[in-house]
Amino acid sequence: MAQTRIGLAGLAVMGQNLALNIAEKGFPISVYNRTTSKVDETVERAKKEGNLPLFGFHDPQSFVNSIQKPRVIIMLVKAGAPVDQTIATLSVYMEKGDCIIDGGNEWYENTERREKAMAELGLLYLGMGVSGGEEGARYGPSMMPGGSYEAYKYIEDILLKVAAQVLDSGPCVTYIGKGGSGNFVKMVHNGIEYGDMQLIAEAYDVLKSVGKLSNDELRQVFTEWNKGELLSFLIEITADIFGIKDDKGEGYLVDKVLDKTGMKGTGKWTVQQAADLSIAAPTIAASLDSRFLSGLKEERVQAAKVFKSGGVSDILSSEPVDKAKLIEDVRKALYASKICSYAQGMNLIKAKSVEKGWDLKLGELARIWKGGVHYQSHLLGPHQAGI
């Protein structure tokens, strides 16, 4: 076989989907995973999804040698030690001028440490945030590469085609800046998403508890909201969720979801960075606190036995509720609060950019977040124009 244009190591679902996306855009790709069954699984998917130019390798040396020079390899592995281990495995077969790209949610200082270490070996390094989840990776993510500009230029033609495409804004990718800026921006992006999801949850709670809206009414409300200034991916899927019936029992699935959530750490990092830089991020911080509280399921159950009031719904239960007015008030509050969440995140990015000398372009960040991200939103148009 002829040498491929690019390689990808790490074939969990995100890695598989991004590799298939790259291949589907016409770029022959080599793939590798320590667990070889994942390699075979990805190759089989490539055959089923259109005989895509994707080639699997079971050993790292053959994988590296299959890629044309200067080699470009994307890693999609768990952050932390697995990244260092993968770099160690692959770099021994790489040559001066080759490039490694970490596509995971990594702490930005780790990226800067690795970029310096790779430079000593003559290798280029990028830390690239990839947003959009499994579906985004397959059909068009938003990507935030930071680090070596030379490395970015190696792969720019691929990223421009693989990224989500927005009609009025182009591909949802841009060179973010030096050092760990790409990972930092992705971290704050996730923090904003924490805030956005918490705001939607609270809007739902008020409409359900105070307005006594049924799930069908909630679905109609959120569907209508998604036609106006609240138009966004999260509002759209929230409307869909309200309509899903429990296929293993009676009623709606939303009423049976366990009110307990976990997190991967980027939201916490965002709040910590805001505190370190003396940047107010109350919406994002409150969303993090809500996740902490949701994890205390047993304690909340015990507290509910002691404090039996239903909260705001009890206070207002004696008052007649004007549903139409409540719905509009909540819509306006949600819109204003989402603006606050985005502004807090952008403020944090700006402060870090000044501290590190990154010279980040906030308008460009708003542009590339208009597609491929979980909170892609109509709101980001005014944000792009305003900053």
Q: How buried is 51 (Cβ within 10 angstroms: 0-12 exposed, 13-18 middle, 19+ buried)?
A: exposed
- The CA distance from 313 to 39, in Å, is 53
Long-range contacts of 323-326 (CB under 8 A, 24+ apart): 323/211, 323/213, 326/206, 326/207, 326/210, 326/211
- The CA distance from 384 to 367, in Å, is 6
Three-state DSSP class for residue 66: coil
What is 222-243 written as a DSSP string?
HHHHTTTTT-BHHHHHHHHHHT
- The CA distance from 352 to 346, in Å, is 10
Provide the token pair at 294: 């949701």
193 tagged catalytic: yes
Q: How many CB atoms lie within 10 A of CB 66?
A: 21
- The CA distance from 214 to 143, in Å, is 38
- The CA distance from 381 to 49, in Å, is 34
Which run of H or E residues covers position 316?
Answer: none
364 tagged catalytic: no
- The CA distance from 286 to 337, in Å, is 12
Catalytic residue among 24, 112, 115, 193: 193
Catalytic residue among 186, 338, 352, 370: 186
- The CA distance from 360 to 185, in Å, is 9
- Which of 147, 156, 95 has the alpha carbon at shortest distance from 126? 147
Which run of H or E residues covers position 297?
Answer: helix 297-306
Q: How many CB atoms lie within 10 A of CB 256?
A: 11
Q: How many whole angstroms from its chain centre is CA 164?
A: 13
Residues noted as catalytic? 186, 193
